[in-house]
Amino acid sequence: MGSWNWWRPFVAVVLTVVSAGSIVSITWEKPVTSELRIVGADMSFTLQEEAVGNQVNDNGEALPIEQIMSNNGVNYSRIRLWVDPEPGTSDLAAALTLAQRATDAGMGILLNLHYSDTWADQNAQKLPAAWEDLGKEELESTVHAYSRDVVSAFAEQGTPVGIVQVGNEVSDGMLWSWGKTQLSWGEYWEGFADLYQAGVAGVLAGSGGQPPKIMIHTHAADESASDFLAKVEANGMPFDIIGVTYYPFWSGSLAGFSRSLNILATRFNKDLIVAETGYPWRLDSEPGCDSVVNNVAELPDRRRFTATPEGQAAYFTELRKVIEQVPDNHGLGYFVWEPGWLPGVPAAPGVCNRYANLTMFDWEGNALPAIDSLNPPASPRPTP
């Protein structure tokens, strides 16, 4: 299916050739369960959850999380990949296992390349340990080869990726310090641009004739994101999709976020994905591990969306509407971040899970009402 492959799980393409060598008309058939083209979830902790005995249930039936999410309208899985982490923690073997399971559940795959041995975000883009002594040209070649080989591994397994994030929350570049854009003496874009372009070229080289869409991911959708993307374009850095992070307790109200999305879509004429999002269904914390949001004052829309199971469901219902109304149908969809990351699995060795109150399952593994917001039914389920 060539370049159409990334849409495979959720659209049908009808091609009509008007005459040889002339116009081809294209009709997108959207899924009957959603106005959005992507309703996704990042479930990268799944194997670690299962290893400690955590399980999730839907209406009392224990099932693999990707099956529960698929049954409730999720059609894309976002899979995190680190270069050389602790075994079983977002390494390539784990990512390929998750990709096979997602494909078997009828999902497409968004591959999230961090280009680090651990978490990479707007505050940290640490070089993989094995790449630390490389010069700039060697690093570019390594990024190209790594990206090519990873994407090729997914294709050879029969689970080709539909979308690839070249870096995670790269608002200040990636692979620091070679690819850092904001330096003490001013801005420097050449390193980031060259490394990013090497990653994109590697992704396309490894795709086996089914090139995925390229997504560039920022940590916000505000004015800073608009400035960032303008410089990305000015430096010849290709991308098909704009990915943004949105957590209300960090990024502000849903109304403000809506305005930002509309500005980005209009200015850049690109499709947008909310690459990760979440909302609390409770504010208390596990003993010894403060939740990432634990004060109602941190929730800008707290009167609309209470920190309860019902408030969490209402948030996702309204987020859907915000994305659906992005101009020119540029709102592709969103990814729930780690809906099944229950207590018991650390973020990294020695680092507790501060996000357990953002899950779509209670701490006993029972599905919460927010599950229904993914594929709204006639009647919402009661709170467990």
CATH code of 345's domain? 3.20.20.80
In a domain, 24, yes or no: no
Q: What is the pLDDT of residue 39?
A: 97
From the list 378, 351, 355, the residue with the least C-alpha distance to 292 is 355
Q: What is the pLDDT of residue 294?
A: 95
Give the model confidence (pLDDT) of 140-195 as tens digits.
999 999 999 999 999 999 999 999 999 999 999 999 999 999 999 999 999 999 99
In a domain, 22, yes or no: no
From 137, 276, 324, 338, active-site residue: 276
DSSP 169-208: S-BTBSSBTTTB-EETTEE--HHHHHHHHHHHHHHHHTST
Domain carrying residue 333: 33-374
From the list 379, 249, 218, the residue with the least C-alpha distance to 312 is 249
Q: What is the pLDDT of residue 88?
A: 87
Q: What is the pLDDT of residue 27?
A: 34
In a domain, 384, yes or no: no
Task: Check if 187 is active-site.
Answer: no
Q: Which residues of the chain have pLDDT under 50?
A: 1-34, 378-384
In a domain, 383, yes or no: no
Exposed e or buried b for every residue in 97-132, given b needs 16+ CB within 10 A?
Answer: bbbebbbebebbbbbbbbbbbbbbbbeebebbeebe
Domain count, the chain: 1
Q: Is 207 in contact with 111 (CB distance < 8 Å)?
A: no
The neighbour count for residue 152, using CB atoms within 10 Å, is 17
Whole-number Å distance between alpha carbons of 293 and 281: 10
Q: What is the pLDDT of residue 377?
A: 56
From 66, 140, 169, 338, active-site residue: 169
**DSSP 8-state class, residue 152:** H
Task: Check if 169 is active-site.
Answer: yes
